[in-house]
Structure 1
Amino acid sequence: MTAPISGIIPVGLGAVGGVTEAGPQAAAGADGFASVLASTFDKLQSTQNAADSLGAQAATGDLKDVHDYIIARTEASLATEMVVTFKNKAVEAFNEIMRMPV
């Protein structure tokens, strides 16, 4: 169903949304950190959009299996938490570097 979390890349939707997940080696190509960060935010947005779409289907009665919505919403929530935690750690590391004497 879903791919395991690898490194800092948030989980894809797997079978629910069809979003595939690239490993850190594929994302760390030409731009390195910037491309990993951009792809992470793109995947987070697509995960949230898929969960919102399934939520709308569940509200209108078009969704056959409510479990798909619950799984997608949980994945979106976990991906959001992971990205926020990553952001907080990056800011913390930046602040620590700025406090170092020159």
Structure 2
Amino acid sequence: MDIRSLSAASGYAAARPATKADPNHESTGAGAQLKQSFENFTAALQNSEQVSVQAMTSQADPHALVQALAQTELAVETAVTVRNKVVEAYQEILRMPV
């Protein structure tokens, strides 16, 4: 097991801002959490893309670009780690005797 992937997941979790739970939104099941994770991933990619375009047109400072790219890198590493774990679990299920 690659120790970098574990640090990527914990780094991404630490990089996301802490948000309060919405008391009006009662669906806090696994599906809602998964949807929120996908939305956070998409937002990180979109933010990085916007900052990259702004940096190319001299509207953003290089520090903002580096920060956005680092957040995107953490998000992608986290997504790859989750995907690898899902594939690993699927392969384990396939190995089970019937």
Distance 2:39 2:47 in 1: 12
1:43 aligned residue (40, 59, 62): 40
RMSD (CA atoms): 2.8
Distance 1:101 1:10 in 2: 40
Question: How big is each residue's C-alpha offset from its partner over 1:42-61, in whole Å with a ceiling of 9 and x where there is no partner?
Answer: 10110011111111111001
Identity score, percent: 32
2:6 alignment partner in structure 1: none
Change (3 A) 1:99 1:22: farther
AA of the residue aligned to 1:70: V
AA of the residue aligned to 1:69: L
What are the ranges of 5 or more consecutive residues in structure 1 without an aligned counterpart? Answer: 13-19
Question: How big is each residue's C-alpha offset from its partner over 1:7-54, in whole Å with a ceiling of 9 and x where there is no partner?
Answer: x85843xxxxxxx4448xx5xx73632222221111011001111111
Structure ranking higher in helix proportion: 2
> Relative contact order (C-alpha < 8 Å, sep 6+): which is higher?
2
* Residue correspondences, number: 86
What is the TM-score normalised by the length of structure 1?
A: 0.67
2:87 alignment partner in structure 1: 91
8 Å Cα contact 1:50/1:72 also seen in 2: yes
Distance 1:40 1:47 in 2: 11
8 Å Cα contact 1:10/1:40 also seen in 2: no
